[in-house]
Amino acid sequence: MAEVKEVKYTDDNIRTLEGIEHIRRRPGMYIGRLGNGDNPGDGIYVLLKEIVDNSIDEYSMGFGKQVKIDIVGTEVTVRDYGRGIPLDSVVKATSQLNTGGKFDDSAFKKAVGLNGVGTKAVNACSSSFYVQSYRNGETSWASYAFGELKDSGKGPTTEKNGTYVRFTPDVELFGKYEYHNDYVETMVKNYSYLKKGLALVYNGTTYKSDNGLLDLINENLTETPLYAPIHLEDEDIEIVLTHGSAYGENISSFVNGQNTRDGGTHLAAFREAIAKTLKDFFKKDYKPEDCRQGVVGAVSVHIQEPIFEGQAKTKLGSTYMWEKELKDEDGKYIINEDGSRSIDRGPTIRAFINDFISRKLDNYLHMHKEIVPILEQKIRESQKEREEIAGIQKKTREKNKRANVYNRKLRDCRYHYNDKVAKDKEDFKEASSIFITEGDSASGTITKVRNANTQAVFSLRGKPINCYKESRRKVAENEELNLLISALGVEEDLADLRYNNIIVATDADDDGMHIRMLVLTFFMKYYPDLIRRAHVHILQTPLFRVHNKKETRYCYSIEEKEAAVKELKTGVEITRFKGLGEISSNEFVDFIGENMRLDLVKLSDEESIQDIMEFYMGANTIDRQNFIRQNLRSAEELEDVNI
């Protein structure tokens, strides 16, 4: 037995991390993922949101009608015209954890930032951070570097009231990062839709909405809806609803102006209320999925002290519209007989949304009878197709179970995205992934080196069918795609998705690229929300191994290969990888571990899925041939492609 070296554990090992040092040590606890800006959920966008949220909260309280946002390179500036941070609290509000004005309901109601962490997290995660507050002819400012206060001061000013923040995210934490304009623009547009009358000026362009969520839906529709969007509003809630001909659901959700990309209790209630109200209106037992098939909509609610799952605030966890601990006249908490504090709870979010939609939507349908037959025909068509497809899929699954195909195609992991696991398993949920590979060789390689806690492997056999060209019935009869749907867990509802990351891992050759396109076409046509919610990725694997006697480098592009050859100089050998199966398991471990490179599959609301699929997967047109020629790197590559 090997000798165990004694490690001393004394009082000197016990440390207290002061101020915001803990944020720099554990940034993921406060801003979620880090990332380089390629994903809309990356930390640099969370930092931007934390600052803008404060400005939005000022507008919500009736102060300031304009917010200016500028991003030049990696430097971000935000200027609002609200009340400004109280002058004696500028340093505290930007550097002391759990310090802020939003714990006081009289100063901020139904705000987004509530935990006294947001601005401090931005400060801690920035190489430089500057804040200046303007209040009634006086100003107070503070400057920081890596979260440490460098200078501060006060003085007179002629500036209008408000707050100015300038920061640069730290490359030590985020690496080489970049703000993508389309992500920031979408964020700014959403703010404008949710805060009617507020002008947001981003890099000189003004975004302002007069019709709220109705503008969001109308401006982002990529197909003609079956009927004009229904727009309903009341205190603390706003919804828009229509149906289109596409598959799946496309519903945006918001809480207090926050885009809850991953949904939560309010989105679940909205989806439930749509189905229930339509069933009651038509007095028929339609299935919820038939009522929602092809739905395009948005829901926004305002609640007091919302509880989000994670600092990134992309999923609402609150159950009630408000929860407040009661105090007596002396300001002491009122204690119940069992020793617990007395709490005043409002209606549940589910009951609030259900009541609103059941009343308002029912009234709307009675007043606009011209859309009733259109809506019911859509539901009936969905019901007919679903029942037909369900029968086909059931037979296919039974056949596959008898052949034990499913077990051989999926090497599952231990923890899944929809598991009801303890908080200490949240990292496992976020990391839960499924690699979709081609053939047994590639899947075998990945299976050997994967993290069995969080990484599953699904092996495709041959090429899937082109879903764009085939009927829904033909797709339902396809064994490969049926097994994939079952593995993902989305047979009945996307909420049952078992993996946070769906990773398409195909060879870097013609066949691999074709299989990748076929798989993505399947997701785009039948499960576009998986793409919209940033679940679908493409695995980058090295194209070349460049090595000499001293060093080995893996290169993902021709440029990287050429640079490696130049730097390694003498005795260089180059290996060109064409298939994942060619890469040994001891090499592959780095490519799906901490150094894994993923390309997010992006699909903005403005893009037409139909147009994209027609261009890439439809008839072989001159336009597509020209596109291929223009984007190939060389004549040699062109010769290898069969157009």
Closest of 201, 16, 34 to residue 121, by C-alpha: 34
DSSP letters spanning 71-94: EETTEEEEEE-SS---GGGHHHHH
User: Of 211, 185, 167, 208, nearest to 59 (Cα)?
Assistant: 208
Range list of β-strands (E), 82-172: 126-135, 138-145, 148-156, 162-169
- Residue 315 banded pLDDT, cuts 50, 70, 90: confident
Enumerate the domain spans of the chain: 21-207, 213-328+341-379, 384-639
At residue 635, the pLDDT reads: 43
pLDDT tens-digit readout, 419-457: 765 445 666 777 889 999 887 777 888 888 898 888 999
Q: Which two tokens stand for residue 236?
A: 């603390």
Q: Are 485 and 248 in contact (CB under 8 A)?
A: no
How is domain 21-207 classified at the architecture level of CATH? 2-Layer Sandwich (3.30)
DSSP secondary structure string for all residues of 284-314: S---HHHHHTTEEEEEEE--SS--BSSTT--
Least confident of 139-148, 189-198, 305-314, 518-527: 305-314
DSSP-derived 3-state class of residue 135: strand
Residue 636 CB neighbours (<10 A): 8
Q: Running DSSP on this structure, what letter comes out for residue 368?
A: -
Cα 112–chain centre separation: 17
Using 50, 70 and 90 to split pLDDT, how confident is the model at 8?
low
Full-model pTM: 0.74
Q: How is domain 213-328+341-379 classified at the architecture level of CATH?
A: 2-Layer Sandwich (3.30)
Domain at 384-639: CATH code: 3.40.50.670
Residue 110 has pLDDT above 70, yes or no: no
C-alpha torsion 28→251→415→40, nearest 10 = -30
Better-predicted residue by pLDDT, 556 or 162: 162
In this model, does residue 544 exceed pLDDT 60?
Answer: yes
Confirm whether 21-207 and 384-639 share one CATH topology. Answer: no
pLDDT digit string, tens, across residues 22-62: 777 777 667 767 888 888 878 899 899 889 988 988 988 88
pLDDT (tens digit, 9 = 90+) per residue, 262-276? 888 999 999 999 999
Nearest 5 degrees, angle CA 484-CA 488-CA 489? 115
Q: Which of 14-18, 130-134, 389-393, 497-501 has the lowest mean pLDDT?
A: 14-18
Residue 121 to residue 428: CA distance in whole angstroms: 23
d(CA 54, CA 35): 23
CB atoms within 10 A of CB 375: 19
Please calculate the CA angle 416-418-422 and round it to the nearest 5 degrees.
Answer: 80
